[in-house]
Chain A
Amino acid sequence: MKFRLALSLATASLWYRRKVLALVCLTLTLSVTLLLGVQYLRTEVKQSFTSTISDTDLIIGARSGQLNLLLYTVFHMGDATNNIRWSTFQALEKDARIDWLIPISLGDSYKGFRVVATDKAFKEYFRYGQGQPLKLAGGQWFDGIFDVVLGAGVARTLNHHLNDDVILSHGGGRTSFSNHKDTPFKVTGILEATGTPVDQAVYISLQGMEAIHVGWESGVAIPGRTLTPERAQARDLTPSAITAVFAGLDRKILTFRVQRDINQYAEEPLSAILPGVALSELWRLMSQFERALLGITGFVVVTSLIGLIAVLLTLQAQRAHEIAILRATGASPGLIASLYVIECLGLAVVACLTALVLSSLAISILGPWLLTNYGIQIQLRPLNLDEWVLLASVPLAALLVAFVPALSAWQKSRSQGFGSPEEL
């Protein structure tokens, strides 16, 4: 009965002071929303990060560290240390344990986006996320030497459509002074958004890559020696070297043996890496940062809780009369203290629930926009255990800090005289 009285008094009191308390509640709501959002983003980003590449068992490149190899092949960051000979690729093709191979040749760019020279195997075998294949939003995968397929991000940023002409640049960088202007490419296909670095690259054939570099052996175009599109058709454009190879094995159990064999390849120094292992190593590096972010957000919540306590303590002065009435009517100091605990807890619960609604609204509204504009895939999903624990820690913390005003009220009301304090 006493608990019900305390609950009804606390509710009425909260409602009576709603104008002041709404502001502190809003502060708390926003900070909890931030906390939830950061935690949610953390898991989603990790998810989308680890799903940048899937089903590929090995990435093979010239001898280098696994992070470097992963960065330049999958994330298009940095440059290859060396190339692989075409004969090596052919030797890998003959390996019975290997199911499929995707050759990749890097080096050029298009207005800041990487050019990836590859073949039909890329469209066929490359997987991301939970083994999702690449899909074309329009057109088809390249067939001719001067066909190009654009990643979704490239097409959107540069506002390209099918059949547009595209001039690739030599080397990386957004503004290049040496363009392959004799050999324009035609957009034959545009990929659907994947939320991975695939969106931020353009895809041409290995032959196309070879063709645009005829006459560029010294690093710049030598007039008269470059190919025209017509002459390119007549030539044998088999590359002499590629940058890296994605490989899928028949039997996953052989992965480590194949990796060792490739690492010990006698003809040239190679490195084979397991993309999953390399991705988690990379994530470990980045997780320091996201943990720091979560920590900062935690402090924001603590700050708002302190603000809440400050307001409750300030209101205590105003409540001297009502406390005097309750005490004189027979309410115990414990009941008075419990009012503060209930009010503080109530505010925290309201803030958490509002934050939950607010963040789900934000995610469902911003999700599609983030995917189309930034290639970040965030979907509304039920909270996981970690997030529930994080959310529940807010009312728990509020319960804990509520003892500050509660104890002070308890102490004051123990020595409370008849009538209001100032009248005595």
Chain B
Amino acid sequence: MNSQLLSSADGSIDKPAALETSNLTFCWDRLQPTLRFPDLNLPRGEHLFLYGPSGTGKSTLLSLLAGMLSPASGVVKLLGTEFHTSGAGKRDRFRADHIGVIFQQFNLVPYLTAEANVTLPCKLSSRRQSATGESPTVAAQRLLSALAIPQSHWQRKVTQLSIGQQQRIAAARALIGAPEIILADEPTSALDSDNRDRFINLLLGLAGERNTSVVFVSHDRSLARCFHHQIELGQVSA
């Protein structure tokens, strides 16, 4: 059950892949062991659960997928583009255009309001700005309402909000402008179980509406049931 993620279960080959990797390895420095990652192949609009204890390189894998680190060897293909061979500037632009991110915590720029945090990707990417269809502010407000952030909080400094609210605002930021891929790095680890379930349901629901693939990393295996695919890290690492 660890690695049931080869093609889609129903074998629909024509569904384009959101991300594909093969033979991916990474090494922080010579003293540390090389990290080897299982091959991934995630079709557009489907969700992947990455599970693994700490130290298995979950965050490193996300860094490689986000193009913030370059692999020692192997191939990363996002939306059909060979990502790892592009220059750093191109990867930054690709990330701005096609990837939404959610961190474990400290997700928000502390000096911006909730709304300004959500519209941030639209300011970095004209593609995502035009994908909102309306003004980014309206899109942000729509997402904030959908994620149950009270209107009175939209103009507040994010540091005044609860952790649960902050994580949902981060989800809104990842979702705005309908990127093809969302990378989430243990976004629920600081939440209680009620908040956690609510967060995952909202995130996956809204992502589904936008045909966005979510790659969700967690050490909490019980969350796996919500995802189309799951994969366990650590077993493959040398």
Contacts and interface: CB of A to CB of B under 8 A. Distances in A.
A420 B95 contact: no
B92 A331 contact: yes
Contact of A418 (B59, B108, B109, B124): B59
Given A325-B109, A327-B68, A332 B59 contact: no
A321 B109 CA distance: 8
A13 interface: yes
Given A12-B112, A325-B103, A418-B183, A1 B59 contact: no
Contact of B121 (A324, A330, A419, A420): A330
B66 A328 contact: yes
B66 A424 contact: no
A2 B122 CA distance: 11
A11 B156 CA distance: 17
A424 B110 contact: no
Contacts of A331: 92, 96, 124
A322 B106 CA distance: 8
Nearest to B28: A424
Nearest to B123: A5
A15 B111 CA distance: 8
B92 A324 contact: no
Contacts, number: 93
Nearest to A418: B63
Given A2-B124, A330-B125, 7 more contacts: A9-B109, A9-B112, A321-B106, A328-B95, A333-B88, A418-B69, A418-B103
A326 interface: yes
In this complex, the interface size class of chain A, counting residues with CB under 8 Å from chain B, is: 20 to 34
A421 B226 CA distance: 29
B97 A330 contact: yes
A19 to B, nearest CB: 13
Nearest to B125: A330
Given A324-B103, A331-B92, A423-B104, A13 B111 contact: yes
Nearest to B61: A418
B126 interface: yes
A418 B65 CA distance: 9
Interface string B81-103: 00000001100110111010101
Given A328-B66, A423-B59, A418 B110 contact: no
28 contacts: A1-B123, A5-B123, A9-B109, A9-B112, A12-B111, A16-B111, A322-B110, A324-B103, A325-B103, A325-B108, A327-B92, A329-B101, A329-B120, A329-B124, A330-B95, A330-B96, A330-B97, A330-B99, A330-B125, A332-B89, A332-B93, A333-B88, A418-B60, A418-B101, A418-B183, A420-B106, A423-B59, A424-B59
A321 B116 CA distance: 17
B111 A419 contact: no
Interface string A1-40: 1100100010011011100000000000000000000000
Contacts of B95: 328-330
A295 interface: no
A291 interface: no
A416 B88 CA distance: 12
Main SS of the interface on chain B? helix
Interface string A94-113: 00000000000000000000
A420 to B, nearest CB: 6
Main SS of the interface on chain A? helix
A318 to B, nearest CB: 9
B46 interface: no
Given A13-B111, A16-B111, A417 B96 contact: no
Nearest to A6: B123
B40 interface: no
A419 B103 contact: yes
A415 B77 CA distance: 21
Contact of A328 (B103, B104, B111): B103
A417 B123 contact: no
Interface in A312-350: 321-322, 324-333
A331 B95 CA distance: 9
A328 B101 contact: yes
A359 B71 CA distance: 58
B180 interface: no
A418 B92 contact: no
A365 to B, nearest CB: 37
Interface in A378-424: 414, 416-420, 423-424
B212 interface: no
B212 to A, nearest CB: 15
B92 A330 contact: yes
**9 closest pairs, A vs B, by CB?**
A330-B96, A16-B111, A418-B63, A321-B106, A328-B101, A417-B63, A418-B62, A330-B95, A12-B111
Interface string B48-59: 000000000001
B126 A325 contact: no
A424 B61 CA distance: 11
B213 interface: no
A265 B108 CA distance: 91
B100 to A, nearest CB: 8
A417 B60 contact: yes
A423 B173 CA distance: 21
B232 interface: no
Contacts of B88: 333, 414
B115 interface: no
